Amino acid sequence: MKNFEAFNQVNENLKSFITDYQLTKKFDKDKFIELHNQLSYSLDNNKLYEDLFIYLKNAINQILDGNLDYLIKEEYSYHNILWKLHQRIISFQKHISLKDLSKEFKKFNEILKTKKFFLKDKENNIYYIITTIGSAIGHISTIKIDKNIRLEYNDHSPSRIYLIKKLLEKENFGCSEIKILKNIFPKKETSDNLFFIAEKKKEDNDLQKLAEIMEACIDIDWILLDAKKPYTQEELNNEIKLLEGIYVLYEVYKIKPKKIIKKINETIVKNCLN
Q: Are residues 104 and 82 in the same domain?
A: no
Q: Which of 86, 87, 109, 113 is nearest to 98 (CA)?
A: 109
Q: Are residues 51 and 122 in the same domain?
A: no
Angstrom distance (rounded) from CA 190 to CA 192: 6
Q: Are residues 85 and 215 in the same domain?
A: no
Final residue of a domain: which of 71, 91, 111?
91
Q: Are residues 80 and 100 in the same domain?
A: no
Q: Are residues 57 and 32 in the same domain?
A: yes
Maximum Cα interatomic distance, the chain, rounded to a whole number of Å: 63
Final residue of a domain: which of 69, 91, 113?
91
- What is the rounded average pLDDT of the residues 37-55? 82
Q: pLDDT band at residue 116, thresholds of 50, 70 and 90?
A: low
Question: Angle, nearest 10°, between helix axes 257-273 and 233-253?
Answer: 130
Q: pLDDT band at residue 53, thresholds of 50, 70 and 90?
A: confident
Q: pLDDT band at residue 84, thresholds of 50, 70 and 90?
A: confident
Q: Are residues 225 and 209 in the same domain?
A: yes
pLDDT score at 274: 45
Q: Are residues 207 and 260 in the same domain?
A: yes
Total domain count, the chain: 2
Q: Which of 136, 25, 152, 8 is nearest to 82 (CA)?
A: 8
Q: Are residues 54 and 100 in the same domain?
A: no
Final residue of a domain: which of 38, 56, 91?
91
Domain that holds residue 156: 94-273
pLDDT score at 193: 76
Q: How far is CA 49 from the centre of its chain?
A: 22
Q: Are residues 19 and 35 in the same domain?
A: yes
* pTM of the predicted model as reported, rounded to 2 decimal places: 0.69
- What is the rounded average pLDDT of the residues 187-211? 80
